[in-house]
Structure 1
Amino acid sequence: MERTTRMGMSVVDAVKEIQARDSIFVAYSQVTKLPYVTCAEETYNDQAWFFAEEETLKEFGKKKLDDKILLMGMKYEKKDFPRMYGLLYAVGVNSLVWNNGSEEIEVDLDKIVRQPDLSKVEPEKRPLINATLQLSGIYFMQELRRPVKPEEHKNIRELEEELIANLRKSEFLVAMDRSEEDPAKVNIPYLKNKEGKILQPVFSDVLEYEKFARGKKLRIAKIPFVKLADIMIQQAEALVINPMGFNLILNREQLKKIIG
């Protein structure tokens, strides 16, 4: 967990500074290739880390090396701010720590930009957002891939249990191939690994789905995890789940254990 410090800067001042910037530096995890996320000690908010100066971000990264946390910097120009904020909402971040080079303060994300309201969008046209799954996956992967001895990992069992709980509650995108000769017949494309095992890919992020479906005439379906797992246990040897930033490969026995 991280503690943010407040000095003379107010939240209002921080919001004005951020909104007036032409560019911002964001701390990214080398593990997930997504914004580095921490849980604030005082507020329990899930926070990303924003910097006005690249050098300050580098200093932050050097301090994190003491805990074997590997970071990198990502520079966002003003034109890319909407995409950046959309990404934060998509992965479940609800606040950020703003460092202007001399002061540091935590700011709620919705004070800077409103979360998109999808309630008026037709259900079948709404993007699939599994923010709680993304967030629990990010925390799990950030800790799991930290280069330390197994016994030095912190709360890894609790993080894994939270990830599994969020898997059960999530929906996923599944590619479906409809036969031209028989429109009523639908096939679900699968992959084979080097050992020849059948792997069924499903997705919680539309961008990852589009990479898989590129150049193919495929339909898309949203399916709850429990129903999906029950189907895949019968058809594939493992399920490959592709949220943003990490992959999960679950074999039949693991799927059976998760869905009970």
Structure 2
Amino acid sequence: MGTSVEETIKEIQGRENIFVAYSQTTKLPYVTCGEESFNDQAWFFTEEEAIKEFGKKKIEEKVLLMGMRYEKKDFPKMYGLLFSIGVNTIMWNDGGEQMEIDLERIVRKPDLSKVEPQKRPLINPTLQLSGIYFMQELRRPVPQEEHKNLRALEEEVIVNLRKSDFLVAMQRKGDEPDKINIPYLKNKEGKILQPVFSDVMEFEKFAKGKKLRIAKVPFNKLPNILIEQAESLVINPMGFNLVLNRDQLKKIIG
């Protein structure tokens, strides 16, 4: 008789380390949609050899993976990442049997409704998830005609862009507190890009070491924050960047 779900949950909670399958494309946990459950799944393994074997099988589908080892002290960070990208189940592989388990049965999901609205960290799990699926398929090294549902995945990203809020970095201008600068980036070609962020984690990477203020802006207002010299706006969800010029932004907004 196999191990029960309850026993497996206790094993996961008590482990000293876990191996998680990551996508080489997004540098985030590899996510699949369950064929029968339609759940959004991350893949967990007890042993390094088991995740290597899983990776070899996925190479046949032109899916490139890598294994990430998490120690127990980093479990809260790992689970927080899974919630933030919209994963709701894990596929547990102990080297023999495989089992799908609801993520919230392993760890409690943070209840942000109890946090004051102005203090809630911005996360866009639906956008992150649709972007992950799109990028995992877009970067799969196969001929164009072999890509699966690419157009539908792209349209889902666009729908979720329209529904999302974004973070914009702002900086006081020298000794003039009433004047605000919006930091910009330059790409290798010297083009000026205006960065905005879909979640607080990506914003913090950009803001590290800088004294920046922050504003939350809905997608349909993003054209308004493009600085005069910026040619495009670069949206930074986790795992990928979207570069959109003013015309593309307006077309998506409709």
TM-score bracket for this pair, using the shorter chain length: over 0.9
- Secondary structure at the counterpart of residue 254 of structure 1: helix
Structure 1 residues 131-146: aligned runs within 5 Å:
131-146=125-140
Q: 2:72 aligns with which of 74, 78, 84?
A: 78
Structure 1 residues 76-115: aligned runs within 5 Å:
76-115=70-109
Partner of 2:180: 186
Partner of 1:3: none
In the TM superposition, what is the alpha-carbon distance from 1:257 to its structure 2 partner? 1.1
Partner of 1:21: 15
In 1, Cα distance between equivalents of 2:136 and 2:68: 17
Cα deviation digits, residues 62-114 of structure 1 (max 9, x gap): 00001000000011111111111000000000000001121111000000001
In 1, Cα distance between equivalents of 2:205 and 2:29: 21
Partner of 2:142: 148
CA RMSD of aligned residues (A): 1.6
Aligned partner letter, 2:89: S
Given that residues 171 and 223 in structure 1 are in contact (C-alpha distance below 8 angstroms), is that contact kept between their aligned partners in structure 2? Answer: yes
In the TM superposition, what is the alpha-carbon distance from 1:194 to its structure 2 partner? 3.3
Aligned partner letter, 1:259: I
Q: 2:231 aligns with which of 213, 237, 240?
A: 237
Per the normalisation by structure 2, the TM-score is 0.95
In the TM superposition, what is the alpha-carbon distance from 1:212 to its structure 2 partner? 2.0
In the TM superposition, what is the alpha-carbon distance from 1:120 to its structure 2 partner? 1.5
Aligned partner letter, 2:84: A
Given that residues 26 and 35 in structure 1 are in contact (C-alpha distance below 8 angstroms), is that contact kept between their aligned partners in structure 2? Answer: yes
Aligned partner letter, 2:38: Y
Which ranges of structure 2 fall in alignment gaps of 5 or more residues?
Answer: none
Which ranges of structure 1 fall in alignment gaps of 5 or more residues?
Answer: 1-6
In the TM superposition, what is the alpha-carbon distance from 1:253 to its structure 2 partner? 2.1
Q: Does 1:118 align with 2:121?
A: no
Per the normalisation by structure 1, the TM-score is 0.93
Aligned partner letter, 2:14: A
| Identity rate, percent | 75
Given that residues 182 and 227 in structure 2 are in contact (C-alpha distance below 8 angstroms), is that contact kept between their aligned partners in structure 1? Answer: no
